[in-house]
Each structure stands twice: as C-alpha cells, then as structure tokens.
Amino acid sequence: MVRAGNFYTLRVVKLVDFGAYLDGGETGEILIPKRYVPAGLRADDEIEVFIYHDSESRIIATTDRPAGKEGDIVFLTVKDITPQGAFLEWGLLKDIFLPLSQQKTILYKGMKVAVMIYVDEQTGRVAATEKFRHLLDPEAPDYAINEPVDLLATRTTDLGWEVIINNRHTGLIHFSDLFEPVEIGDRFKGYIKRIHENGKIDVMPGKKGYQRIEDETGKVLRLLQEHDGYLPYNDKSDPEDIRAFFGMSKKAFKMATGALYKQQQITFTQTGIELLDH
C-alpha cells in the first residue's frame, strides 16, 4: 500500500490534460500534476515520485525531492507560525506542519529546527516533530568499533557535540576529537569509536586512521600548491594558527606533514614547509 511521506516507483495508468494518474495499488489512482510530468512520459511507463497530501488534503505525487522522508531527521527552516503550530520549508510546494503538541522549543520565523518526519496515524498526513528521541531505535546499538556511519550534528553538550547516528541512535563527539568546526545541522561521515556498557556511543568525525590522515595530507598539498609551494607553518607554529589556516588540529598537521616528508614530497625549513619541486 502506498503511504504518504515516502518515495515509490509507480506505473503510469493514463495521461490527462492536467497531469497523469499513477497506479497506487490499494490506495487507488494517484495524480501527479502536469508541472511534475516529465516530457515524453507515456502510459505504462514507471516513474519515481514522492507521495504527500496537497493543500486540499488530496493524496498526490511529485517528482520534487523534499528534504527528507518518513523517519528522517532533518533541520528545517521555520516559514510561518500559527496558534496551532508552525510551517516548515522542506522543498515541496506545500510546507510541512509541526503541530504545537510536537514542539519543545520556542520557535520564530527563519530559525532552523531539528525534526523527525513522521506520518500521523489518524490522518495519514506527513508531519514533523521535535519530540523524536523516544522514536529512535530502542534496540541496543550493534555497531562494530571503527564502523563507518552517517552523522547529523544536533546540539552541543558540556562534553562535545551530540549527533544522530544513521537516523537510529544518538552519539557524542568529544570536543577533543574535533578537527574542524561543526555547526547545528551539519551532516558528515564518521566512525564508531566506543560503545559504553550503558549503551552510550562515542563517535569520531571523518575516516578511520591513516585514511583520514591521507585526506589531511591532500589538503596540505593543495594549500602548498595554491601558495607557490611554501607555507609559513611547522611544528613550532601555534596550534590555533594551524587550526585557523588548515582547519585541523596541530596533531593532525604534524602527522600529515610527517607523512609528506617521508614520501619526499615536502621539506621543512626554519620558518615553514616547502614543496620539494619548488
């Protein structure tokens, strides 16, 4: 059965002047308005669409791609506020509704808010909720140490950044493990660092081990090439100066330049680092 808030590949039943009807199975035929019908679409073709309700509460299809589907946690901008709730921009003609009962922060127009997209079981409509912590996977985490994961930064704590792991669990990146600035709503790759006995998860941003350092070496090489083969930074430079220019910790900088030195791609001078071919 076709359910709002999700993507489907559906068969075209027939074309009409105002769009096309798609086979929604038990849901019945679903209209995709003319503005979303790609050129050359014919009956019996298949097309990937997103299903939701339009402003007149009709179930409808679109080829536009919203910021997220059912179960996704996303950061959306508040477009309008009413006594019943807030409307959030999510990439479709009709904004998604965040009911007042599903809010936990004071909202204002233009702010970004972390929400989970869900389908209201009574109305079948797609909506948003800020109260999603209890909706995350209740099962104990089964990740392997060093397993690659997708991360979404949600807020800071006294220890570091709280993140959502694979839309399933919450985790923590300790401030000491951050190599680049992070902002609310940032999505990035990471890996599992540790799983505590109480189920809490520590994660690291980037890639594991030398693969991440190889990425840092590439950045150092690029910056050297962009600055005529010389940069006035070495292991005696101030850590904050290194972080400001390279976007990495002094430890990562030293590991990257050390690797480049062993590869005979750079040399150290009294005042900085230099490409050997310069």
Question: What are the pLDDT digits (tens) for 155-210?
Answer: 888 888 999 999 889 999 988 787 677 888 888 899 999 998 888 999 988 866 55
At residue 46, does pLDDT exceed 90? yes
Burial (CB count <10 Å: 0-12, 13-18, 19+), residue 154: middle
Domain boundaries, the chain: 7-62, 73-133, 148-205, 210-275
* Residue found under tokens 């030293």: 254
Judge contact between 141 and 171, C-beta under 8 A.
no
CATH level 3 topology of 210-275: Arc Repressor Mutant, subunit A (1.10.10)
Kindly report the CATH number that applies to the domain delimited by 148-205. Answer: 2.40.50.140
Give the pLDDT confidence score for residue 183 in this predicted structure: 83
Q: pLDDT of 199-257, one tens digit each?
A: 899 998 886 655 555 577 888 888 898 898 999 998 889 988 888 888 888 888 888 89
Burial track 245-271 (b if 16+ CB lie within 10 A, e otherwise): ebebbbebbebbbebbeeeebbeeeee
Task: Indicate the burial class of 277 (C-beta count within 10 angstroms; 0-12, 13-18, 19 or more).
Answer: exposed
* 210-275 matches 7-62 in CATH topology: no
Q: Which of 208, 159, 154 is nearest to 185 (CA)?
A: 154
144 exposure class (CB count in 10 Å sphere: 0-12, 13-18, 19+): exposed
Token couple for 212 = 């991440």
Domain 73-133 -> CATH class: mainly beta
Mean pLDDT, residues 110-123 taken together: 91
Instruction: Round the average pLDDT of the chain to a whole number and report it.
Output: 89
Q: Which CATH class is domain 7-62?
A: mainly beta
Q: Which residue has the higher pLDDT, 37 or 1?
A: 37
183-197 pLDDT per residue, tens: 888 888 999 999 988
